[in-house]
Amino acid sequence: MGLAGMNQFEKTTAQSEEQFLRSVGISKETFEAIFNLLASHIQSILDEQPMKKHGQKSQLRLLERLLLTFTYLHHNPTFARLGSAFGISES
């Protein structure tokens, strides 16, 4: 599959370790560890409060939301640029 058919997460994770570090600000290993902790924490909240409303369903998967967060923190781009890169609304 060419880069044109890939989403932002797939494009970023396909990069070398050095490119990933420059793009995201943390290593792939650290990203994966943080993701696993976050996913576990979210699952424990859902298990404790299964009927509680948790807001609007996100257009992005958890991995993509985490990548977006680190991209924002590392580069501080405009919301228009983030929206364009991740295929979401800038608001």
Task: Give residue-wise pLDDT tens across range 15-59.
Answer: 999 999 998 999 999 999 999 999 999 899 888 887 766 677 777
What's the chain's Rg over C-alpha atoms?
15
Closest residue by Cα to residue 67 from 80, 75, 90: 75
Q: Is the pLDDT of residue 2 over 60?
A: no
Tell me which residue of 57, 52, 51, 59 sits closest to 82, measured CA to CA.
59
The C-alpha atoms of residue 38 and residue 83 are separated, in whole angstroms, by: 23
Q: Answer yes or no: is pLDDT of 3 > 60.
A: no
Q: pTM of whole model > 0.95?
A: no
